[in-house]
Amino acid sequence: MTTSPPVKNIDVWLIEDNRHFSEAIECILESESGIKLKESFRSAEAALKALPKKASPQVIILDLGLPGMSGIEAIPEILQHTPNCHVLVLTTDDGRSKVLAAIANGAAGYLLKGDDLDAIVSGIRDVVDGRAAINSRVSRMILDVFRKIPKPPPEAKLTERESEILCMLADGKIKKEVAGLLGISYYTVDTHVKRIYKKLQVNNLSGAIARMTQTGGT
C-alpha cells in the first residue's frame, strides 16, 4: 500500500502597517490548513532586512500604502532577493496607475482590502499554482486596457488567438476554462501560453500582462 506524500505548507509573510487589519489577516491565516504565516512586518524595509537572514517565503502579502518605502517600490526589491516568491498585493487603492505599476514591477496578484477574507486565502493558493489572483473590479480595468490596444504590439508579434487567450487569463480564468470556452484542448492552450511567454520574454502571467500594458495599453 502506497501513501501520498505529506502536503507542504505554503509559507507566507505579511507586510501591513495597519495593526487591526494585520491582526485580522494573521488570525485567518493561522487557522488555515496548508498555509503557514511565518513572519509579519509593519514596513517594507523591515521585511527586506529580514529576507537575507531567513528562509524565503513562497508568498508575500504586501500593502502598497506603507510608511517609508511604498509597496510599489518594494516589489522589485523583494523579487531581487527572492525571485521565486509570489508577491500578492493587498491594498485599498484600485487606481489604474497603481495597478499597472504593481503588475509591471512583478506582482503576481492584486486584491483589495474590501474583498472577502476568504478571497485572500484563495489568492495565496492561486498565485502558488501559477494563476493571477486579481480582484474582479481590477480585472475589468485591466481588460479595458487590453481592449484599447487595437492590435498586438508589433514587437510582441502575438497572433489573434494568443491575444485572446492572454486576455482571458488576465480576466482570472484558468487554462482549463479557456480551453472549454474556446473549444480547444488544455494542451493547446498550454502550448499557446508557452509561446506567449517566449514572445514577450516573460516567465509568468503577471509579466505578460505588464508587457502588454507597457507596450500598448498605457
Span 182-202, average pLDDT: 87
- Nearest of 133, 98, 97, 130 to residue 116 by alpha carbon: 133
pLDDT of residue 149: 53
If DSSP codes are grouped into helix, strand and coil, which group holds residue 98? helix
Question: In the predicted model, is pLDDT for residue 5 greater than 80?
Answer: no
Span 186-203, average pLDDT: 86
Per-domain residue ranges of the chain: 10-140, 149-217
Query: At the topology level of CATH, where does 149-217 sit?
Result: Arc Repressor Mutant, subunit A (1.10.10)
Question: In the predicted model, is pLDDT for residue 218 greater than 80?
Answer: no
Cβ–Cβ under 8 Å, residues 193 and 162 = no
Span 10-37, average pLDDT: 90
User: Could you tell me what percent of the chain has a pLDDT over 90?
Assistant: 29
The amino acid present at 88, given as its one-letter code, is: L
* Rounded distance between C-alpha atoms, residue 204 and residue 123, angstroms: 16
Q: How confident is the model at residue 203 (pLDDT cuts 50, 70, 90)?
A: confident
pLDDT averaged over every residue in the chain:
83
| Cell numbers at 82, concatenated | 527572492
Question: In the predicted model, is pLDDT for residue 105 greater than 60?
Answer: yes
CATH code linked to domain 10-140: 3.40.50.2300
CB atoms within 10 A of CB 106: 21
CB atoms within 10 A of CB 126: 22
2: CB partners within 8 A, 6+ apart: none
Span 34-41, average pLDDT: 92
Asked if 10-140 and 149-217 have one fold, the answer is: no
If DSSP codes are grouped into helix, strand and coil, which group holds residue 18? coil
Q: How confident is the model at residue 7 (pLDDT cuts 50, 70, 90)?
A: low
Which parts of the chain are beta strand (E)? Answer: 10-15, 35-41, 59-62, 86-91, 109-112, 133-134
* Stronger pLDDT, 153 or 14, i.e. the higher one: 14
Most trustworthy range by pLDDT among 87-91, 126-130, 164-168, 203-207: 87-91
Q: How confident is the model at residue 201 (pLDDT cuts 50, 70, 90)?
A: confident
Cβ–Cβ under 8 Å, residues 68 and 47 = no
Question: In the predicted model, is pLDDT for residue 122 greater than 70?
Answer: yes
Looking up cell 490548513 gives 33
Question: In the predicted model, is pLDDT for residue 92 greater than 70?
Answer: yes
